[in-house]
């Protein structure tokens, strides 16, 4: 029933990496929204503490991904098999995915260095774009190039591929039209966040402002 995924070290490494990445991004966002030296200093220390486990788990996941076995789906028969360094071969054969993944990792590393040692206010922008790039590259890697994006470790032939998981023509057409709504949602999110971050939070606002936090 998919519960075997809980014992998979690759899944655990990725899950813990995402957990600490969420904490890192949250700290960077707070630093970009607060104008208070004492809080900024405490955020920097917390950022350093959370960056270390994030890097450990993320690099462990990348090592599993690159040097371990991957779930390859035969394009003709649909048969799924374990192939050593399958994802590494995919990365090397698709320069676009490789570039996206590498650029994303570099941006995240720059954000950590920027946040811990330099100006913390700018770190969230590097981290945000870098995270999106890495996630998109992993999506392409999992679903593109004859791979199973939802593998089963107990029954390989039950692993899901894009072909197996594709819906009917009607459903896909409906999803195609619905996807046009996404740009409007992104614009709304950008406007809302811009309004929230227009003025940074200060100690005076926290104590004397009309809206107490």
CA angle 103, 106, 110 (to 5 degrees): 135
When pLDDT is cut at 50, 70 and 90, the band that residue 205 belongs to is: low
Structure tokens at 21: 């990445």
Helices (H) and strands (E) in the chain, counts: 9, 2
* Residue 70 phi, psi (nearest 5): -120, 160
Question: How far is the C-alpha of 204 from the C-alpha of 200, rounded, in Å?
Answer: 11
pLDDT attached to residue 6: 73
pLDDT attached to residue 19: 93
Q: pTM surpassing 0.85?
A: no
Which of the residue ranges 29-33, 48-52, 74-78, 93-97 would you say has the lowest mean pLDDT?
Answer: 74-78
Question: How far is the C-alpha of 115 from the C-alpha of 104, rounded, in Å?
Answer: 16
Which of the residue ranges 23-27, 157-161, 173-177 would you say has the lowest mean pLDDT?
Answer: 157-161
Which of the residue ranges 75-89, 96-110, 131-145 would you say has the lowest mean pLDDT?
Answer: 75-89
Is 60 exceeded by the pLDDT of residue 212?
Answer: no
Question: How far is the C-alpha of 36 from the C-alpha of 31, rounded, in Å?
Answer: 9
pLDDT attached to residue 201: 63
Top pLDDT among 24 and 180 is at 24
Q: Tell the burial category of 156 from Cβ atoms under 10 Å away from its Cβ (0-12, 13-18, 19+).
A: middle
Question: How far is the C-alpha of 101 from the C-alpha of 66, rounded, in Å?
Answer: 12
CA angle 48, 21, 7 (to 5 degrees): 115
In this predicted model, what pLDDT tens digit does every residue of 113-136 receive, in sequence order?
888 887 777 788 888 889 989 988
Is 80 exceeded by the pLDDT of residue 166?
Answer: no
């Amino acid at each position: 029933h998919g519960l075997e995924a809980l014992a998979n070290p690759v899944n655990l490494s990725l899950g813990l990496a995402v957990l600490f990445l969420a904490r890192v991004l949250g700290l960077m966002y707070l630093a970009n929204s607060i104008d208070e030296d004492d809080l900024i200093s405490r955020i920097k220390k917390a950022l350093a503490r959370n960056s270390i486990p994030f890097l450990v788990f993320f690099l462990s996941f990348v090592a599993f991904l690159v040097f371990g076995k991957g779930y390859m789906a035969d394009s003709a028969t649909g048969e799924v098999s374990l192939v050593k360094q399958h994802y590494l071969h995919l990365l090397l054969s698709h320069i676009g995915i490789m570039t996206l993944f590498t650029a994303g990792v570099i941006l995240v590393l720059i954000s950590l260095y920027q946040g811990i040692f330099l100006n913390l206010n700018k770190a969230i922008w590097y981290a945000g774009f870098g995270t999106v790039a890495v996630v998109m590259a992993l999506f392409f890697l999992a679903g593109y190039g004859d791979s199973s994006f939802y593998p089963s470790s107990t029954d390989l032939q039950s692993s899901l591929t894009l072909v197996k998981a594709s819906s009917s023509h009607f459903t896909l057409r409906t999803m195609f039209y619905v996807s046009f709504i996404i740009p409007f949602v992104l614009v709304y999110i950008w406007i809302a966040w811009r309004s929230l971050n227009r003025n940074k939070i200060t100690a005076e606002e926290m104590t004397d402002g009309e809206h107490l936090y």
